[in-house]
């Protein structure tokens, strides 16, 4: 039989019920609250599993001498062991808000395991404290239910993912944290090398190249819950270090990866959060997503798709529409079902200002009534013209129509964002509803105005849709890559591709982007070399765990699902990191700081 010290718990603070009545038990936990009634004291004892009420009666049967006096001095967050007997409460004294509310622990002896100073903020779920303080004393904030629940479900989710992938033959393989800096992409976090003075490791922005080398190695199926590091400015959904479900498979095409990841996400969401995702996830071509939703990460919780009305506008009496078409632009609209009454003139003015901020010159609108259209474009769409427009927009009386006319890029951006805004105002973006989709065939390259050259739209290892493409310089903007994004509720949660697996093609891509053979050798030589010795066709994906968990739990940002996050200035308020180091350490590494202020 297992040894148990006298103070150690027999049960947790979440599990005692009427089934345990009259049993002698020991609980360990933190004092969450205490209520004194003269000769009677109530303690709420908390651990990860719940809260149980402890009663200490000065003259109670079996109450050890001195117990009451010592308990009287206890306060919030003291850590104690309570010996006692489980007692059923009278019917009128049951606390229905707690799973343990039907019983209480009648204490015979209370041992103080650790005394606590008054905490800087109250460790109660309902107590408010600003985030700065909560981050500084993260270990106290972590005692509270919102964070404990987030970390608990996150762990369940990750375990489910591991089980899923392990069950399908994936190997969990660790890749280096100390690795090589590469010029493209995000800024690297650097680590100086002592034994190679003047040289630096970089922390990985992702395990990308190593997982591809795993494929060259014939490991066939790789996965890793991988920490990634990027030294860029932060947002609510970005931390300097974050976690990805990273995986790669050999001898596969897009549908193999997508099918597997879809099943994995469904499994993880179910096991981790009890969320059932509707399947299959729709798959959109990049172009199709842009046309219908105005963006490459559609929020499918509601419809309100962008409808092209360019042909109808071509012959319109409305000069703004006709002029846009004549200049090679497009006219598109969205139909907000039943929204006519929900948007006043002022509300529509606000929408106009909103799209104005996105580059649109204006917002044409009409409310659909049984008698026809009302609104800014009504007089140009009387009678049949109006009927045709409504038909095109699939609009019925009570609907609100919103149109933007401009160059395609502007229209898609303006209407795409407007769709999200109006959808939000109409309550169509329910945080308890989850809709996923895939977006495929992204452009391979995009033009960088600033640098006046083409650059990777996704990553330099994504294969072009046409394996045997001759010249990347011809019709560059229309070359598609075999890249795909996983999207949930308008959040990009994953990104991957079928990779280039032949040295010659990879080298040509680099060359097209102006990376010289010397630079290729210096930065990616080991990957190019590896392909000399037989690289299998392969592809994979990386999913952002922090964002996925935050979304599933309806949290505002990913700090709420990370145990020890950093501030938006990439600072750890609890550990005080980064910090200065001694001159000796600097000297040993043969580095010097040029910072104006020394920490």
Residue numbers of the site for RNA (CB under 7 A)?
33, 35-40, 42, 44, 53, 55, 57-59, 75-76, 89, 93-95, 97-98, 101, 104, 118, 120-122, 126-133, 135, 182, 184-187, 205-206, 208, 230, 232-238, 450, 455-460, 556-557, 559, 567-569, 571, 573
CA pair distance 483, 509, nearest whole angstrom: 15
> Shortest Cβ distance from residue 252 to RNA (Å)?
20
**Cβ-contact 74, 57 below 8 angstroms:** no
> Shortest Cβ distance from residue 113 to RNA (Å)?
18
By beta-carbon proximity to RNA, the closer residue of 59 and 475 is: 59
CA pair distance 21, 252, nearest whole angstrom: 59
Structure-token match 């008054």, residue found = 118
By beta-carbon proximity to RNA, the closer residue of 228 and 401 is: 228
By beta-carbon proximity to RNA, the closer residue of 133 and 505 is: 133
By beta-carbon proximity to RNA, the closer residue of 316 and 462 is: 462
What beta strand segments (E) does 68-131 contain? 79-88, 103-114
Cis peptide before 147 (omega within 30 of 0): no
Coil/strand/helix, residue 480: strand
By beta-carbon proximity to RNA, the closer residue of 138 and 435 is: 138
> Shortest Cβ distance from residue 314 to RNA (Å)?
32
CA pair distance 498, 500, nearest whole angstrom: 7
CA pair distance 492, 295, nearest whole angstrom: 11
Strand-pair partners of 487 = 437, 492
By beta-carbon proximity to RNA, the closer residue of 232 and 511 is: 232
By beta-carbon proximity to RNA, the closer residue of 310 and 425 is: 425
CA pair distance 466, 471, nearest whole angstrom: 11
By beta-carbon proximity to RNA, the closer residue of 275 and 457 is: 457
**Cβ-contact 435, 300 below 8 angstroms:** yes
> Shortest Cβ distance from residue 505 to RNA (Å)?
16
> Shortest Cβ distance from residue 160 to RNA (Å)?
26
> Shortest Cβ distance from residue 142 to RNA (Å)?
16
Question: DSSP class of residue 579?
Answer: -
DSSP string, 277-340: PPSSPPEEEHHHHHHHHSSSS--TTS----EE-HHHHHT-S-HHHHHHHHTT-EEEEEEETT-G
> Shortest Cβ distance from residue 256 to RNA (Å)?
22
DSSP string, 354-395: HHHTTT-S--EEEEEETTEEESTTGGGS-HHHHHHHHHHHT-
CA 374 to chain centre: 42
By beta-carbon proximity to RNA, the closer residue of 100 and 316 is: 100
CA pair distance 89, 549, nearest whole angstrom: 39
> Shortest Cβ distance from residue 94 to RNA (Å)?
6
By beta-carbon proximity to RNA, the closer residue of 464 and 557 is: 557
b/e 204-240 (16+ beta carbons within 10 angstroms → b): bbbbbbbbbbbbbbeebbbbbebebbbeeebeebbbb
> Shortest Cβ distance from residue 76 to RNA (Å)?
4
By beta-carbon proximity to RNA, the closer residue of 233 and 303 is: 233
b/e 59-71 (16+ beta carbons within 10 angstroms → b): ebeebeeebbeeb
Pick from 301, 306, 311, 309: which is nearest to 289 by CA?
A: 306
> Shortest Cβ distance from residue 132 to RNA (Å)?
4
> Shortest Cβ distance from residue 450 to RNA (Å)?
7
**Cβ-contact 497, 460 below 8 angstroms:** no
């Amino acid at each position: 039989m297992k040894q148990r010290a006298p103070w150690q718990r027999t049960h947790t603070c979440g599990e005692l019920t009427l089934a345990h009545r009259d049993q002698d038990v020991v609980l360990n936990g933190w004092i969450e609250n205490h209520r004194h009634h003269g000769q009677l004291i109530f303690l709420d004892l908390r651990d990860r599993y719940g809260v149980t009420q402890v009663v200490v009666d000065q003259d109670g049967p079996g109450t050890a001498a001195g117990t009451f006096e010592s308990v009287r001095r206890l306060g919030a967050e003291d850590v104690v062991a309570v010996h006692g007997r489980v007692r059923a409460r009278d019917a009128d004294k049951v606390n229905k808000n707690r799973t343990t509310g039907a019983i209480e622990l009648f204490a015979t002896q209370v041992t103080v395991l650790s005394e606590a100073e008054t905490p800087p903020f109250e460790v109660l779920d309902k107590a408010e404290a600003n985030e700065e303080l909560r981050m500084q004393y993260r270990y106290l904030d972590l005692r509270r239910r919102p964070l404990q629940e987030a970390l608990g479900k996150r762990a369940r989710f990750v375990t489910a993912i591991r089980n899923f992938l392990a069950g399908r033959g994936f190997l969990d393989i660790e890749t280096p944290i100390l690795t090589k800096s590469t010029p493209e992409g995000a800024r690297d976090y650097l680590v100086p090398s002592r034994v190679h003075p003047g040289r630096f490791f970089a922390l990985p922005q992702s395990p990308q190249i190593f997982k591809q080398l795993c494929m060259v190695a014939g490991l066939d199926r790789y996965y890793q819950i991988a920490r990634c590091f990027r030294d860029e400015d932060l947002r609510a959904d970005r931390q300097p270090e974050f976690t990805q479900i990273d995986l790669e498979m050999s001898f596969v095409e897009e549908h193999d990866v997508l099918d597997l990841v879809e099943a994995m996400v469904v499994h993880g969401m179910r096991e981790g959060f009890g969320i059932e995702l509707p399947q299959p996830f729709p798959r959109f071509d990049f172009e199709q997503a842009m046309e219908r939703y105005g963006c490459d990460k559609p929020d499918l919780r509601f419809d309100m798709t962008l409808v092209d009305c360019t042909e109808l506008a071509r012959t319109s009496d409305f000069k703004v529409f006709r002029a846009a078409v004549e200049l090679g632009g497009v006219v598109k609209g969205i139909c907000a079902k039943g929204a006519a009454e929900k948007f006043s003139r002022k509300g529509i003015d606000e929408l106009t200002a909103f799209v104005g901020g996105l580059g649109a010159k204006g917002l044409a609108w009409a409310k659909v009534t049984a008698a026809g259209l009302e609104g800014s474009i009504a007089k140009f769409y009387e009678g049949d013209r109006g009927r045709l427009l409504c038909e095109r927009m699939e609009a019925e009386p009570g609907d609100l129509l919103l149109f933007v006319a401009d160059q395609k890029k502007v229209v898609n951006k303006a209407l795409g964002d407007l769709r999200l805004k109006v959808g939000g105002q109409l309550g169509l973006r329910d945080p308890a509803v989850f809709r996923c989709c895939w977006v495929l065939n992204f452009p391979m390259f995009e033009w960088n105005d600033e640098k006046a050259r083409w650059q990777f739209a996704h990553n330099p290892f994504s294969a072009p849709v046409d394996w045997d493409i001759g010249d990347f310089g011809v019709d560059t903007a229309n070359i598609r890559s075999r890249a795909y994004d996983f999207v949930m509720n308008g959040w990009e949660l994953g990104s991957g591709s079928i990779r280039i697996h032949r040295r010659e093609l990879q080298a040509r891509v680099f060359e097209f982007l102006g990376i010289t053979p010397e630079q290729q050798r210096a930065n990616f030589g080991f990957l190019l070399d590896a392909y000399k010795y037989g690289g299998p066709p392969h592809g994979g994906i990386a999913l952002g765990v922090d964002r996925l968990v935050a979304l599933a739990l309806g949290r505002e940002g990913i700090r709420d699902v990370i145990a020890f996050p950093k501030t938006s200035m990439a600072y750890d308020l609890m550990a005080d990191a980064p910090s200065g180091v001694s001159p000796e350490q600097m000297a040993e590494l043969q580095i010097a700081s040029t910072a104006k202020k020394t920490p």
